[in-house]
Amino acid sequence: MPQLSRGASTLLATAVLGIVIIGYVLGHSRSQGAPAEKMLTASAGNVLLTYPATWHAATTAADIQGLAIAHPLVLAPGGDATQAGLVAGALGGGEGAPLPGPVIALMPELPETAVVDLLGSQAYRYAHVKLAGFNRDLTLYAIPNPSGEETVLACYASASQAAFIRACEHIVASLTVLGQAQTYDLTANPSYARELSAPIATLDQQRSSLRAEMAAHATSAGARSAATRLASAYASAAASISKLEPPSAAGAAQTTLVHSLKQAGAAYTTFATAAGEENVTGLNAARKQIDEAETGVQRALEEFALLGYQQA
């Protein structure tokens, strides 16, 4: 099975998946008699935030590659967003995963997922996100919207201004998403995780042994037999997973996974046909098709990891 979480042997092990659900409550304590901090409000698109007067709106923010927020709201300490700040807004295109694909592609490893409570909604929270080419501490929040654009927020700060990450998180805790009523829980479901783990674990075992057979057999008949059985294994996994009843938050991810498994099965069928015909050109094309299809499976599994279905 394609490797998940950039080094884990597989995302969905046969044991119950580790589900990282962190109750996240941001309080703000003050010493008795201290003057209340002046607070302001700002909105952009579907986002309304309350923030301290020491922060100001900024016209530009640090470049977070891959995070294409349309008409973002940018707030920063003193209005200078070069080293620390908050970027909030809606993603332009429809994304299956909580985070945009271009952002995920820049991650050397997937972050842990937490589900946090905001004002009237929940969000996925990803702390200490590592992105290639971005040298600041980064925390990302994603608020799905099945009927429209997803809301994403980014808190970032350089090492010398790390305290502003906490201040930014206080601002995020005040967020109200306008015109969006969240009707389902984002918390990962342990029962669903167990049901999902079984066919994936079985496929992972079959793939490991049959791929070894394909590499070991020099004869076209041996390669064809292994590829045919692999095609059947992928089709069986897709059929099993398609019968599951996913939680609302995981419905799109399950659809993507089933589709990617079917694509991989079809790629191995193409390889088996080319092997039987001893068609070198066809085999090379089929190998490319297999690589692309298995990359699709990898990405689909990463979607589940970002939904909180992570290996313990």
Q: Which residues contact 241 (CB under 8 A, 6 or more apart)?
A: 196, 199, 200, 254, 257, 258, 261
For residue 21, pLDDT beyond 50: no
How confident is residue 35, by pLDDT bands cut at 50, 70 and 90?
low
Q: What is the average pLDDT across 207-233?
A: 88
| 189 compared with 97, residue with greater pLDDT | 189
pLDDT score, position 311: 52
State the average pLDDT for the chain.
Answer: 84
Q: What is the average pLDDT across 51-65?
A: 91
Amino acid present at 97: A
Share of the chain above pLDDT 90, in %: 59
For residue 307, pLDDT beyond 70: yes
Q: What is the average pLDDT across 177-205?
A: 88
Q: What is the average pLDDT across 209-228?
A: 85
Report the distance separating Cα 179 and Cα 89, nearest Å.
13
pLDDT score, position 180: 67
Tokens 């009523």, residue located: 181
| 242 compared with 159, residue with greater pLDDT | 242
pLDDT, tens digit (0-9, with 9 covering 90-100), for 149-190: 788 999 999 988 888 999 999 999 998 887 766 668 999 999
Query: 73, 45 in Cβ contact below 8 A?
Result: yes
H helices then E strands: how many in the chain?
Answer: 6, 12
pLDDT, tens digit (0-9, with 9 covering 90-100), for 124-156: 999 999 999 899 999 999 998 877 778 899 999
Instruction: State the first-to-last Cα distance of the chain, in angstroms, to the nearest integer.
Output: 18
Q: What is the average pLDDT across 249-260?
A: 94
pLDDT score, position 121: 85
pLDDT score, position 47: 81
pLDDT score, position 140: 97
Query: Of the ranges 16-20, 54-58, 136-140, 159-163, which one carries the lowest mean pLDDT score?
Result: 16-20
What count of residues does the chain have? 312
**Structural domain boundaries in the chain:** 22-177, 190-310
Fold of 22-177: Protein Transport Mog1p; Chain A (3.40.1000)
pLDDT score, position 46: 77
Q: Is the pTM of this model over 0.75?
A: yes
Report the distance separating Cα 56 and Cα 16, nearest Å.
46
Candidates 40, 55, 122, 107; CA nearest to 86 is 55
How confident is residue 28, by pLDDT bands cut at 50, 70 and 90?
very low
Q: Which residues contact 34 (CB under 8 A, 6 or more apart)?
A: none
Structure tokens at 93: 């295109």
